[in-house]
Amino acid sequence: MGLKLPAIEGGAPVREKALPYARQSLGDEELVAIKQALDSGWITTGPKVAEFEKGIAKRTGARHAVAVTSCTAALHLALSALGIGPGDEVVTTPLTFAATALAIMYAGAKPVLADIDDKTLNINPLEIEKKITPRTKALLPVHYGGNPCDMDAIMGIAKPRGLLVVEDAAHAIGATYKGREIGVFGNATCFSFHAVKNMTTAEGGAVTVADEGLAANLVAGRFFGITSDAWQRAASEKPWEYDVSEYGFKYNLTDIQAAMGLVQLGKLDSFLARRKEITEMYDKEFSALGELSLIENTTGAESARHLYVIRIRPERFKAGRDRLLAALRAEGISANVHYKPIHLHSFFAGKLDVNPGDFPVCEKAAEEIITLPLFPDMTDGDAGSVVEAVKKLVDYYRVN
Ligand SMILES: *Cc1c(COP(=O)(O)O)cnc(C)c1O
C-alpha cells in the first residue's frame, strides 16, 4: 500500500524539530525601539503610548484608541466604562478563551452563552436573539480566528433593543468587514497584543471607541480613575495635584511596550500578507481532502487569519481527534485546539448554570477542530511539512 507509518505508531516523524502553532515575529527594529524607550528616561506610560494609540486609531479607522495591559483588561475596562455591572447579562460565545467570560464576570455581570454557527464557528446571531432577556445589557461577539462576525446581523439585533456591543477582537487586528476595519463597529472593540497574537507587545491590549466621553473614561479608568497620567502631570504647573474622579484600575501600558507595538504595527500588513499566503496554500491542499472540512469566512469579511483551524469528519477516521492531534505532535507539528468550550470548564459550569449538551453546535465543533501552525516567519518548507504530516495521517487513519 505504501502507507507511511505515523511517528506515534513507531514510524519516522515528518519533522525533527517541532514547529510551534504560533510564534511572534521580532527583529532588530523592535530592539532598537525598546532601547530608545529605555534611554529616553521615561519608561512607563508616556509619549510612546500616546503615539501607539494614534497608530492603532489610524490603522483601524476608529476615533480613539486607549492602550492597556491586555485584551482581558480591555474587555473589563470597556464593559465597566459602559456601565455594565451586577445584575446585567452579556451574551457571548462558548467557543472562546476563558478571558472573554472572565472579563464579563470581573465587571460583575453574568456571561450568557449563545451557540455558534456551524460554518464560521462565530456566534450565531439567531442564537443571540434567543438569549436576550430584560437583563441583557450587551452583546460580546468574538471574531474567532480573526474572521469577523456578521456585524450587520449583530448590530441589527443590538441597535433596536438599545443593547451595547463590545467586541473581542483579540484575533482580529487588521481584519475587515464590508471594507471597514474591525475597530469601528461596536461601542468598543478590544484587541490583544499578547505574544501569540497577530502583532505583539509581549503583553498588551487596546480598546477602540468612537465616543469621546467614553474614551476619556477609559483613559481615566486604566489609571486609577485619574484623568491625567503621571507623564501629563509632570509637564503641568502643579504636578503634585491629581483627582480620582471615577472608579479605576491599574491597566496602563508602558512606553517600552508601546515602542515595540509601534514597530509591530508598521509590520502588520506584511504579517497579514504572509498569513494569507500560507492559509491559501493550506486551503488548496486541505480542501481536496474529503476527510476534512474547512472553516468558512463570513460573507463580506476579510479575515486577519490568526488561526488556521481544520475540522475532521470523525466518521471518516479510524482514530479520534485527540489521537490525531497527538499523532500530529509526534510528527513534529505542534497542533492545538481553540477552544475547550466555556461551559465545559468546571468553574464556569458551576457559576453560569450551563451544562454539557446546552450548545450542541459548539460541542460538536470543539471535538473536531485542530489548529495547525500559522505564523508569518514560517517558511514554505515549514508549511509544506504541515501539509505532509496531515496528509500522511489522513492516509493512514482514513476509513477505507
Ligand atoms: C488571547 C485572547 C484573549 C485575551 O487576551 P490577553 O491580551 O491575553 O488578555 C481574549 N479573547 C480571546 C479570544 C483571545 O484569544
Average pLDDT over residues 158-164: 98
Which pLDDT does position 1 carry in this prediction? Answer: 53
For the CA of 142, the nearest atom of ligand 1: 13
For the CA of 72, the nearest atom of ligand 1: 9
Whether residue 75 is predicted with pLDDT greater than 80 in this model: the reply is yes
Asked about 392 being catalytic, the answer comes back as no
pTM of the full structure = 0.97
For the CA of 96, the nearest atom of ligand 1: 13
Whether residue 118 is predicted with pLDDT greater than 60 in this model: the reply is yes
* E strands in the chain: 64-68, 89-92, 110-113, 136-140, 164-168, 176-177, 180-181, 188-192, 205-209, 292-294, 301-302, 308-312, 369-372
Query: Given ligand 1 and candidates 76, 143, 168, which is best to mutate, with the most ligand atoms within 8 Å of its CB?
Result: 168
Work out the pLDDT band at 240, boundaries 50, 70, 90.
Answer: confident
Work out the pLDDT band at 380, boundaries 50, 70, 90.
Answer: very high
| Three cell numbers, residue 93 | 460565545
Instruction: Please report, in angstroms and rounded to a whole number, the separation of the first and last CA atoms in the chain.
Output: 12
Q: Which residues contact 66 (CB under 8 A, 6 or more apart)?
A: 53, 77, 206, 207, 208, 209, 215, 218, 219, 222
SS (H, E, C) 21-55: CCCCCCCHHHHHHHHHHHHCCCCCCCHHHHHHHHH
Percent of the chain with pLDDT over 90: 95
Q: How far is the CA of 18 from the centre of ligand 1 (A)?
A: 24
Work out the pLDDT band at 231, boundaries 50, 70, 90.
Answer: confident
The per-residue pLDDT for range 4-18, each reduced to its tens digit, is 999 999 999 999 999
Q: Which of 221, 218, 198 is nearest to 208 (CA)?
A: 218
Query: Given ligand 1 and candidates 21, 72, 203, which is best to mutate, with the most ligand atoms within 8 Å of its CB?
Result: 72
The answer to whether 253 and 204 are in contact (CB under 8 A) is yes
The answer to whether 153 and 185 are in contact (CB under 8 A) is no
Which pLDDT does position 400 carry in this prediction? Answer: 84
For the CA of 306, the nearest atom of ligand 1: 15
What is the number of alpha carbons within 13 Å of residue 336 lying toward its C-beta?
14
Which pLDDT does position 238 carry in this prediction? Answer: 87
The per-residue pLDDT for range 256-268, each reduced to its tens digit, is 999 999 999 999 9
For the CA of 168, the nearest atom of ligand 1: 11
Q: Which residue's CA is the nearest one to ligand 1's atom 2?
A: 170
DSSP per-residue letters across 67-93: EES-HHHHHHHHHHHTT--TT-EEEE-
| Three cell numbers, residue 289 | 481532502
Which pLDDT does position 198 carry in this prediction? Answer: 98
Give the separation between CA 187 and CA 127, rounded to whole angstroms: 21
Give the separation between CA 342 and CA 271, rounded to whole angstroms: 30
Cell 457571548, located at residue: 92
Residues touching ligand 1 (Cβ under 6 Å) are 70-72, 96-97, 99-100, 142, 168, 170-171, 192, 194, 205
Torsion of CA 158, 160, 161, 163, to 10 degrees: 40
Query: Given ligand 1 and candidates 56, 76, 100, which is best to mutate, with the most ligand atoms within 8 Å of its CB?
Result: 100
Q: Which of 69, 73, 92 is nearest to 81 (CA)?
A: 73
Q: Which residue's CA is the nearest one to ligand 1's atom 10?
A: 99
Beta bridge partners of 113: 92
| Three cell numbers, residue 244 | 480620582
Whether residue 230 is predicted with pLDDT greater than 90 in this model: the reply is no
The per-residue pLDDT for range 25-43, each reduced to its tens digit, is 999 999 999 999 999 999 9
CA 345 to chain centre: 19
Average pLDDT over residues 241-258: 95
Which pLDDT does position 236 carry in this prediction? Answer: 86
Q: Which residue's CA is the nearest one to ligand 1's atom 5?
A: 71
Beta strands at 180-181 and 301-302: parallel, antiparallel or unpaired: unpaired
Average pLDDT, the chain: 97
| Three cell numbers, residue 138 | 450587551
Q: How far is the CA of 102 from the centre of ligand 1 (A)?
A: 11
The per-residue pLDDT for range 137-160, each reduced to its tens digit, is 999 999 999 999 999 999 999 999
Tell me which of 48, 110, 197, 392 is the catalytic residue: 197
Angle of helix 28-39 relative to helix 255-286, nearest 10 degrees, comes to: 160
Whether residue 229 is predicted with pLDDT greater than 80 in this model: the reply is no
Whether residue 283 is predicted with pLDDT greater than 90 in this model: the reply is yes
Q: How far is the CA of 232 from the centre of ligand 1 (A)?
A: 30
Q: How far is the CA of 67 from the centre of ligand 1 (A)?
A: 15
Work out the pLDDT band at 232, boundaries 50, 70, 90.
Answer: confident
